[in-house]
Amino acid sequence: MKKAYICSPYRAANATELDRNLAYAREITRQAVEAGFAPITPHLYLTQCLDDKNAEERAQGMAVGAELLTLCDVMFVGDKYGISEGMTSEIALAKEHGIRITKMTPAGYRIRDAQLRL
C-alpha cells in the first residue's frame, strides 16, 4: 500500500475556520483511504497532544510531520483554502525528496483520479 502525506491548512483566524480546515483534512484523508492509500495526516492528531499556539510545541509537531513526510510515496495537497506557511515548508521538503505532489484542485478533483497516474 502506498503511503500518502496529506498536506492542507491547519492554522486559522478563528474557531469556525479551524473547524473548516479540520473537516477538509478529514475529507482528503478519507478519500486517500477509499483510494487504497495509507494516509498520514499529522495535523489531525499531533494537534491533539501538542499546542500549535506554543512555538516550541509547533516546532516539535512540524519536525515530526517532516520526518513522516520523508517516508511517503506521494503528497496530496489540499489548497482549497490556500497554502499556509507550514504547507509551504512541507511542499518544499517533498520536492527535495522527490516525492510526487498532487494538488487536490480544481474543485471536484479526487484522489481516485490521481491514483491512476501514480
Q: What is the pLDDT of residues 30-53, one digit of tens each?
A: 989 988 999 999 999 999 999 999
Please give the pLDDT value at position 103.
Answer: 85
pLDDT per residue as tens, the chain (118 positions):
999 999 999 999 999 999 999 999 999 999 899 889 999 999 999 999 999 999 999 999 999 999 999 999 999 999 899 999 999 999 999 999 999 998 875 555 566 555 544 4
> β-pairing, 38-40 with 74-77?
unpaired
pTM attached to this predicted model? 0.88
Q: What's the confidence (pLDDT) of residue 15?
A: 96
CA distances to 44, 59, 79, 96 from 25, rounded to whole Å, are 7, 20, 10, 23
Amino acid making up residue 48: Q
pLDDT at 46: 96
Structure-block grid coordinates of residue 2: 502506498
Integer Cα distance of 30 and 33 in angstroms: 5
Residues with Cβ within 8 Å of 9's Cβ and at least 6 positions away in sequence, in order, are 21, 24, 78, 81, 82, 83, 84, 86, 87
- The residue behind cell 478533483 is 109
**What is residue 118's predicted lDDT score, i.e. its pLDDT?**
40
Exposure of 61 by Cβ count < 10 A (0-12 exposed, 13-18 middle, 19+ buried)? buried
Alpha carbon distance 75, 94 (integer Å) = 7
